[in-house]
Amino acid sequence: MRKAAEMICQAQKTVALTGAGISVESGIPDFRSAGGLWERFDPMEYGTIDAFRADPEKVWRMLREMSGVISRARPNPAHKGLARLQEMGLLHTIITQNIDNLHQEAGSTHVIEYHGNSRTLSCLRCDRQYRADDLTGDVPPKCACDNILKPDVVFFGEAIPTKPVRESHELASSCQVLLVVGTSATVSPANSIPQIARMAKAKIIEINIEPTVLTAHITDIFLQGKASEVVTGLVDEVERLMS
């Protein structure tokens, strides 16, 4: 923990990559949590763009439950710890694979949403965009043109918008430390970010409750434990070093 804190204090640029695991303690299940949403809705059946195009009403049964879970969730100490590091000027940007807006709610300012955000929805027919908060009533929600709306999140099988990919890859190649929190690093192309950072000689600090595909070959320091506890401990250590 101390060595990881020293790396962060000494780095000119630290970037974080977060995944579903950072939001598990906020009540949003990751793809691995037992008894969660994903046991009833297989992500490969409900989370693909082909499934949405073929049967949007079926996919909206999953989306409606997911948006209920997300709207009840609040940032946990891990989101707040990363926001504190940003406030201290020690964390440049958070690249998140999550769509739950919890980094921003915790006070983080520089956040790249690699897989989009569920706050807005768009019409795949006429491109009109709506704020989720403004849509009350119909489920599934419909556009003025009567087409069913899709949340602005990247479904499996959809291309990632160019801007977050370009920005993330630039940050990964220019940071000295990459802090990887709560991701299995199995979803492509987001899982190339640690490799890019590693090739550019960044140190990789990984926080997860269990080892991942990164741990043995890519990670320099593996801090095993719940994100809320480990991030809090790490930020405390950084604050001690900076005082």
Give the residue numbers annotated as catalytic, written as ranges.
115
Binding site for ligand NAD (CB under 6 A): 19-21, 23-25, 28, 30-32, 97-100, 115, 182-184, 186-187, 207-210, 212, 226-227
Exposure of 176 in the CB half-sphere (CA atoms within 13 A): 11
In the complex, residue closest to ligand NAD by CB:
21
Closer residue to ligand NAD, CB minimum distance, 59 or 143? 59
Q: How far is the CB of 153 from ligand NAD (least distance, A)?
A: 8
Report the first-to-last Cα separation within the chain, whole angstroms: 17
Closer residue to ligand NAD, CB minimum distance, 38 or 60? 38
Q: How far is the CB of 132 from ligand NAD (least distance, A)?
A: 14
Q: How far is the CB of 57 from ligand NAD (least distance, A)?
A: 22
Task: Kindly calculate the radius of gyration of the chain based on its CA atoms and give it in whole angstroms.
Answer: 18
Closer residue to ligand NAD, CB minimum distance, 78 or 149? 78
How do beta strands 116-123 and 149-153 pair? antiparallel
In Å, what is the CA distance from 214 to each residue of 85, 144, 219, 220, 233?
A: 23, 46, 6, 10, 22
98: closest CA among 77, 128, 119?
119
